[in-house]
Amino acid sequence: MNLTIDAKSPLPVYQQVIQAIKLEVLSGGLRDGDLLPSIRDLAKLLKLNPNTVAKAYYALEAEGFSENRSGSGSRVRVPAGRQDSLRKAMLESEFKNFLEKAVSLGFTLEDIKQLAERIKK
Amino acid sequence: MNLTIDAKSPLPVYQQVIQAIKLEVLSGGLRDGDLLPSIRDLAKLLKLNPNTVAKAYYALEAEGFSENRSGSGSRVRVPAGRQDSLRKAMLESEFKNFLEKAVSLGFTLEDIKQLAERIKK
Amino acid sequence: MNLTIDAKSPLPVYQQVIQAIKLEVLSGGLRDGDLLPSIRDLAKLLKLNPNTVAKAYYALEAEGFSENRSGSGSRVRVPAGRQDSLRKAMLESEFKNFLEKAVSLGFTLEDIKQLAERIKK
Amino acid sequence: MNLTIDAKSPLPVYQQVIQAIKLEVLSGGLRDGDLLPSIRDLAKLLKLNPNTVAKAYYALEAEGFSENRSGSGSRVRVPAGRQDSLRKAMLESEFKNFLEKAVSLGFTLEDIKQLAERIKK
DNA sequence: GTGGTCTAGACCACC
DNA sequence: GTGGTCTAGACCACC
């Protein structure tokens, strides 16, 4: 897993952990049944308090992304079908987000196409 | 002006105000010399404490986006050339941001092109 | 509000707080829009750590029972219709629960009727 | 025996085991002198650590519900009269429990009677 | 070792 | 004053 925490981000640290793990799940880096690092290990790795990581794990379980069991760790839970639809939904929402900002900045779809051409290379 | 404040956002409210006004300037909704709404009026409109709005206005002035003259309100300050380059820089940064997320979700540039085709219509 | 915490209960303290507030909402003691006691006040009253009460409030908000706003406290949120259906659903579930236990103890519905007659008086 | 263990329950697992066996005894599913399953067998069946089951068995013996003789297993101990009075006491306590919750939800005895009528069918 | 709960006490943004 | 986040460190049940 490739987790980095940005202490300066306005996004609370525990939510950064949630996002990073969700991304890992959605990108296929973590699959259904995979064991997540233990709360204490991840806390040590990210130099966070175990409570902060626990909060993230708790939220992930509440959202159905994992199953935490005392004594045997936390495992990823992603019904096969769900992963793909979540992935697509997330991409679309990110893209719409971007489009909205671009449009409110006064750019046209033509401008955006040109931008895309330039950066792609 | 089209401002909406999200109290639940991790981004502090006064920074949301800053962002919204900058967007307005960059999109051309506010031009060099335009009068910003008074601190009290904007606070009332957004249901915020005037202190919060004042904090945003001071920050905008510090960044050179406005000029506050006590007694005669705050006026937008945008040197002619600057607006365009800021606008472009912001669009590029947003687009790169989106691309990064898409790639980390495992999508290819081809996937993104197709998405763009679909949404455009 | 009539909250009592049982330190010996196997139910975690923060869940006891959640239950007590939900009960208060479902019984009509707390209505939509009512202000909950502040985290600090309730913590002092129950002799708990503010974090523990905060955890309960956070969960209540996640379940849609309240809306917490920094600076202006936590307010009960119960759409008028929902309260009644939740109340009935909870009663039925409690009753079924009881019936199951009674039946597994080998009692008949006749036994239960007699018990009810006796206790009612 | 019909045992199901809920790892998420706030009630410790070994106490769930105790409860389940007591219920079995009170309902007549297990009678005086009956042999309980071996600690290892029950642990395997419930996917628990044998230590957890052993803890439950010791507690049951301490309460006088069984007699553990090393080498020849654990046998249920229920003096003839005791079973019936325990059964009744448990039912009454469960019923009072239910009534309390119903009343605190604001239901009247009339409401409860109607509920009973509906479910009975 | 594992996750879950809790206290104590700090700092933040907003009021 | 309000809720939200975070660290530090403890204890619990279960493995």
Global confidence as pTM: 0.86
Q: Please indicate, yes or no, whether residues C29 and C72 belong to a single structural domain of this protein.
A: yes
Which nucleotides of chain E does any protein CB come within 7 A of?
A: 1-10, 13-15
Q: Please indicate, yes or no, whether residues B64 and B38 belong to a single structural domain of this protein.
A: yes
CB proximity list for C45: less than 8 A, separation 6 or greater: C3, C37
What percentage of chain B reaches a pLDDT higher than 70?
A: 95
Q: Which of B95, B107, B120 sits opposite A109 (nearest CB)?
A: B120
Question: Are the C-beta atoms of B10 and A87 separated by less than 8 Å?
Answer: no
Helices B109-120 and A80-104: angle between axes, nearest 10 degrees:
60
Q: Please indicate, yes or no, whether residues B3 and B23 belong to a single structural domain of this protein.
A: yes
Q: Please indicate, yes or no, whether residues D71 and D29 belong to a single structural domain of this protein.
A: yes
Q: Please indicate, yes or no, whether residues D91 and D72 belong to a single structural domain of this protein.
A: no
Nearest-angstrom CA–CA distance, C57 and C73: 11
Q: Does B1 score more than 90 pLDDT?
A: no
The per-residue pLDDT string of chain A (121 residues; one tens digit each, 9 = 90 and over) reads 668 899 889 999 999 999 999 999 998 899 999 999 999 999 999 999 999 999 999 999 999 999 999 999 999 999 888 888 989 888 988 898 898 888 888 888 888 878 777 766 5
Q: Which amino acid is at D13?
A: V
How far away is chain D from the Cα of C99, in angstroms, using its nearest Cα?
A: 9
How many domains would you assign to chain B?
2
Q: Please indicate, yes or no, whether residues B26 and B59 belong to a single structural domain of this protein.
A: yes
Q: Please indicate, yes or no, whether residues C107 and C66 belong to a single structural domain of this protein.
A: no
Q: Does C20 score more than 90 pLDDT?
A: yes
Instruction: State the CATH number of the domain containing residue D6.
Output: 1.10.10.10
The least confident of B94-98, C81-85, D69-73 is D69-73
Q: Please indicate, yes or no, whether residues D41 and D98 belong to a single structural domain of this protein.
A: no
Chain A residues at the B interface, defined by Cβ less than 8 Å, are 10-12, 15, 23, 26-28, 87, 90-92, 94-99, 101-102, 104-107, 109, 111-112, 115-116, 119-120
Nearest-angstrom CA–CA distance, D29 and A56: 44
Is B23 in contact with A105 (Cβ distance < 8 A)? yes
Q: Please indicate, yes or no, whether residues A31 and A46 belong to a single structural domain of this protein.
A: yes
Residues in chain B: 121
D86 confidence band (pLDDT: 50, 70, 90): confident
D2 confidence band (pLDDT: 50, 70, 90): low
Q: Please indicate, yes or no, whether residues A72 and A88 belong to a single structural domain of this protein.
A: no
How far away is chain B from the Cα of A41, in angstroms, using its nearest Cα?
A: 24
Q: In whole numbers, what is the pLDDT of chain B averaged over residues?
A: 86
Confidence at residue C2, expressed as pLDDT on a 0 to 100 scale: 67
Domain residues for the domain of C108 are 81-121
Q: Please indicate, yes or no, whether residues B64 and B100 belong to a single structural domain of this protein.
A: no
Q: Please indicate, yes or no, whether residues D74 and D37 belong to a single structural domain of this protein.
A: yes
